[in-house]
Every structure is written in structure tokens, then in C-alpha cells.
Amino acid sequence: MTPLRQRMLEELQRRNYSPSTFRGYILAVKQFADYFDESPDKLGTEEVTRLIEAASNLTYRTILMLLYGTGMRRAEVPLLKVDDIDSERMIIHIRQGKGRRDRDVPMSPKLLEVLREYYRQNKPKIYLFTSSAGHFGVDNPISDKTVWHACRGAAKRAGLSKVIGPHTLRHTFATHLLEAGADLRTIQVLLGHACLRYTVIYLHLSQRHLRAVINPLEQITLRSHSELHDPPEDNPLWHGPSGRWPMSFAWRAASSGTASAKR
């Protein structure tokens, strides 16, 4: 029996759930593992730290932190737009996910910090991650292959022997949430699953629930991209504003009135 399974059994017993609820949770976790065709306990926190710190550039580092900090799918990352980042509510809006469903996921302070750094360096206008291919001046999103290369390249640089892709970080995010005590139904919503077999109730999270979730990205210690790649005296980012989100995000949110609230 794995430590994760043992911990779950002890927690169910501590909460004095009925036998039927007990069996429901066990079957739901089994289905969760079967869905990925392997144990959901994929990467440890130390391995995640090594992976992120091994990113070859700031764009790849930001992508890796997005995958681990939100559980986004590989295909969802390229479609993320500047306006989807809501720094006031600390929410990222994911549009047209699997099954054409929109969802909101919480944004941790560490993720906001690296997004600010990335924005100051790249100044994206429409899509958060833009491709240099195509016509000059046209804002095209990156390919989902770029997301895959970000993972594979970092894994190789970090010396990790496991086969690691975007989906690895997605279900590592979910597994670490479960280990931190998040409810299985909360994880279901954050991952964007319409339903999970043996999970009877589909819970739509309120903002209070979203903020209450302990984000696994906040549980690891990372050296900054500039610390790893640039001397402080030669790095212009050390001298720029660091206390707020880029003005374009605040401006767009303000110009759209209550658009963010309606999401």
C-alpha cells in the first residue's frame, strides 16, 4: 500500500464517513488512477523543483509553472490570452477547454510573480505566449508542441530519467493537491472534468473555495530565473517595478467594466 493510499484511508476513517461514502471515495481514486493508466503519484516536489529550475529560458519556465500551478492541459496553454489573467481576483480564466467548457483556476502568488517577469520581458498583446513564426506583426499563439518541448527539454537538462510531458505536471498538480488535503470534487473541477465516475456530486467552486485551495506551486522553493541566468548588476529586471501586475492587465480589466466579474 502506498503512503498516499494509507493517508487517504486514515483520513476517511478520521472523518467517520459511512461505508458507502468510504467505498465511493476509494473507487473514485481508483478511476482517477485508471484514467491516466498509472499511479497518480508521478513526480515528487524535489523533482518538480529541479524540472522548473532547469528550464532553458523564461518562457519555458513560465509554461512549466503554469502547468504545475494550474493543472492546465497541453492544448489549453497556447490559447491563454493576456486578458485571461485576472490579478485582482487571483484567477486564470481557461476558455474552451476539453468539451468546450470554460473554467476558472486559482493563481498562486509565485505564478503571478513569474507571469509579471515574463510580461515585462516579452510584452505580449493578445496571446500570452506568441510564436515568432508567420508574418511580422501578427500575434499568433505558440504551438502545443512548444509546451511539450518545454517539458522534455527541462527534464533532460535536470537529469530526470522519467518520461515527462505536460500531462505529467497536470496530474502531479492533482496528486499533490490530494496529498495536501483538497477534496476530490475540488480537484475534479480544477482539472475541468465534466464528471468523474463514482463521484456523485459535481461541485461548482465559489471564489472562497478557489482561494482556500493550497496550491502545490507555493510548497516548493525556487530560485528565480534571473538568479539562475543573469548577474544582478546586468539584469534590467532587477531595477523595474515588482510590486504590481503589468499595467496593461489592469487597464484591460478596467476598460472591460465588469467583464471579469461576469466570468
List the domain boundaries for the chain. 1-41, 42-262
The reported pLDDT for the residue numbered 233 is: 61
Phi and psi of 2, rounded to 5°?
A: -75, 155
Q: Taking phi first (over 0 means left), then psi (-120 to 50 degrees means alpha), and beta for anything else, what does residue 133 get? A: beta
| pLDDT on residue 156 | 95
Which pLDDT does position 13 carry in this prediction?
83
Which among 220, 193, 215, 222 is positioned nearest to 69, based on CA atoms? 215
Q: State the pLDDT at residue 69.
A: 93
- N residues, the chain: 263
What is the rounded radius of gyration, in angstroms, for the C-alpha atoms of the chain?
A: 19
pLDDT score for 44: 87
Residue 127 contacts residue 79 (beta carbons within 8 Å): yes
- Type of residue at 89: R
Q: What are phi and psi of 167, to 5 degrees?
A: -70, -25
Query: What CATH topology corresponds to 42-262?
Result: hpI Integrase; Chain A (1.10.443)
pLDDT for res 245: 54
Q: Which residues are known to be catalytic?
A: 73, 98, 167, 170, 193, 202
Amino acid at 120: R
Task: Annotate 218-239 with b (16+ C-beta within 10 A) or e (fewer).
Answer: eebebebbbeeeeeeeeeebee
Instruction: Kindly state the cell numbers that stand for 140.
Output: 499568433
Series of mean pLDDT values for 10-residue runs along the chain (263 residues): 73 82 78 54 86 96 96 92 94 81 90 96 93 65 94 95 89 79 78 54 40 78 83 55 49 46 44
Backbone dihedral angles phi then psi of residue 250, each to the nearest 5 degrees: -65, -40
**Statement: the pTM of the whole predicted model exceeds 0.75:** no
